Amino acid sequence: MKLFFSAAFSIFFIFSSMAQTPEEWLTKFEKTSYLETARYEESIAYFQKLADASEYARMFTFGTSPQGRKLWCIVVSKDKAFNSVNAKKIRKPIILIENGIHSGEIEGKDASMILLRDILITKEKENLIDSVTLLIVPIFSVDGHERFRAYNRINQNGPVEMGWRTTAQNLNLNRDWVKADAPEMQAMLKLFSTWLPDFFIDTHTTDGADYQYNITYALEKYSNIYKETGEWVKEKFTPFLVRRVEEQGFLIAPYVAFRDWGKGFESGIVDWAASPRLSEGYAAIQNRPALLIETHMMKPYKNRVFSTMAALVASIEYAGDNPSELIELNERADLNSVKQISVEKEYMPVELAPTEKVDTMLFKGFKFENQPSNISGATKIVYSDENIDLTVPFYNDVHSSDSVSAPEAYLIPQEWNLIVDRLLLHGVVVDTLKEEREFNVTKFKFSDVKFAQKPYEGRHRVNFKFETFKEKVKAPAGTFFIPTNQRTVRVILHSLEPKSDDSFLKWGFFNSIFEQKEYFESYVMEKVAEEMLANNPEIKKEFEQKLAEDKSFRESPDARLNFFYERSPYMDEKLNVYPVMKVE
């Protein structure tokens, strides 16, 4: 019971001017004593009403969900810069706030309603938009939002009813940022690459342990993001965010992951770099800082909405107080990423791991005990409502454990246009060869190919070993040519380098290249093998050596015949070879 009632009454301030708000502008959340959230239609109608009532706001749609719902965005600008071209021209930071990527975690939508009302209608917070352009997506996973019921989040304390974690196609949008299978994500990427926000915010509710913090955050700052942006996050933005959210009455901490979940916070807190399939990791490879907000699931919904609002307000304040700092930082991030990765061939990390280096942090937890459980037969964690403030190890040093280097360009044969369609969504510029051209390329050949046993996000992922080889190729007209000398260089490498965990290859887009489609009949192969043995002393020597040394080979008639097939001109030269080539 403690779970739902004790932490509920920590003191916090309510920033909404609810008392002076005209009745017609109260949100469903406010009118239900902060217990309920509005359905899709009612939510969108509220944002539309805000846009209709203010000369500073416009609503527009940027896509349609698989169940036919519109995806909406509201743009707020005192300069009435309601499209991306004008918004970039006025040189005020563009902040994109995206809510409801997991639409059971919907604080951000309710916070955004109140925030915009206080900016546009009561004008109590109007000064927040003096120096920024706001883009707010009220609900991203709109179909998920309408899978609405009380039992969608077992760990979560309100609202009374809520949406579901995934889309109608059962895809988790927050694993889809690079592969972009969901129509909703394809629409979001177009929105993202068109507006190219200077700062991005993604709002969630966390799962995991119980502790005192109302809200936790994550921002990329290791070598998966442009170095200076990481420093800005660490030294400038994060201290400001923490101070301002605390000033507004909420406890805030870095995203909480224990080093050993069995031992809890005493084992230490671990930080990591987000992979680009996640929102903040994706913004990083677009050279943009992003804030992931995770309110604590056990805190009452009211507390979670207002702590989310505090973090939104703090972020807008920082950007508004330092408008040229952020815009110029992002311009340098774009220019220098190209210079360092594409021109100077600096290695770009594709895998990052925490090191053993350890710092400390003060952790505000709840006392807990491990008690025997008759239900599970193991032990159970029983939290008390007694606060414990303890200095714990903080593993906040993350280093590159694998990296790649950029070619001058990638070549993609025209039959793999699906890959190019996805790259275009990310804002990648793709050229097409008008006539045949010769290139010196590096190719990849895979071995030890292993497929995942179960689907993950609707795909069978694949792992492999590979070797590279160089070749001179004639690329026909129609071949796609993707120069790396462009601002999306990090996106290009993460999408196309086989080693990258978010490459289209590892996500299974190229699985057909691993299928052998022609086979020999043994009695035919026998004759071909005899001729090869008679005419090719090197093959004869290799065969005899393998017979002598390799027992399983010696005892397998198929393997022995296949030895000759693989070395014959009949073998499929494209089997296990990556169609994407690196132009050196």
Eight-class DSSP state of 550: -
Site string for Zn ion, 89-128 (x = CB under 5 A): -------------x--x-----------------------
Nearest distance from C-beta of residue 577 to Zn ion, angstroms: 39
Nearest-approach distance from CB 207 to Zn ion, in angstroms: 8
Distance (Å, rounded) from C-alpha 329 to C-alpha 321? 15
In this complex, which beta carbon is closest to Zn ion, that of residue 140 or of residue 258? 140
Closest distance of CB 240 from Zn ion, Å: 24
Task: Using the rule CB under 5 A, give the single segment among 200-208, 236-244, 389-397, 403-411 that binds Zn ion.
Answer: 200-208
Nearest approach, Cβ of residue 100 and Zn ion (Å): 10
Nearer to Zn ion, 105 or 210 (CB): 105
User: Of the listed pieces 72-80, 201-209, 309-317, 447-455, which binds Zn ion according to CB under 5 A?
Assistant: 201-209
Angle between helices 40-53 and 107-120 (to 10 degrees): 20
Per the document, the length of the chain is: 584
Using the minimum distance from each CB to Zn ion, give the nearer residue, 105 or 110: 105
Q: Is beta strand 199-206 parallel, antiparallel or unpaired with respect to 94-98? A: parallel
- Residue 102 or 487 having the CB closest to Zn ion: 102
Q: Give the nearest distance from C-beta 204 to Zn ion in angstroms.
A: 3
> For residues 402-433, b (16+ Cβ closer than 10 Å) or e, as one string?
ebbebbbbbbbeeebeebeebbebbbbebeeb
State the number of binding residues for Zn ion (CB under 5 A). 3
Helical axes 238-247 vs 301-321, angle rounded to 10°? 130
- Is 214:295 a contact under the CB 8 Å cutoff? yes
What is the DSSP code string of 247-263? HTT--EEE---BSSTTT
Q: How far is the CB of 153 from Zn ion (least distance, A)?
A: 10
- For Zn ion, give the closer residue by CB, 107 or 497: 107
Which residue, 169 or 336, is less far from Zn ion as judged by CB?
Answer: 169
Quick one: tokens of 511?
């699985």
Contact 53, 121 (CB under 8 A): yes
Dist CA 422 CA 426 (whole Å): 7
Hey, which residues between 347 and 366 contact Zn ion (CB under 5 A)?
A: none
How far, in Å, CA of 297 to CA of 316, rounded? 24
Cα dihedral sign, 230-235-236-241: positive
Choose among 115, 111, 132: nearest CA to 124: 115
Q: Which is nearer to Zn ion, 148 or 240 (CB)?
A: 148
Say whether residue 296 binds Zn ion (CB under 5 A): no
How near is the Cβ of 106 to Zn ion at its closest, in Å?
Answer: 10
**Which position among 69, 109, 147, 204 is part of the footprint of Zn ion (CB under 5 A)?**
204
- Looking at beta carbons only, is 141 or 223 nearer to Zn ion? 141
Dist CA 184 CA 90 (whole Å): 29
Closest approach of Cβ 274 to Zn ion, in Å? 13
Under the rule (CB under 5 A), what is the footprint of Zn ion? Answer: 102, 105, 204
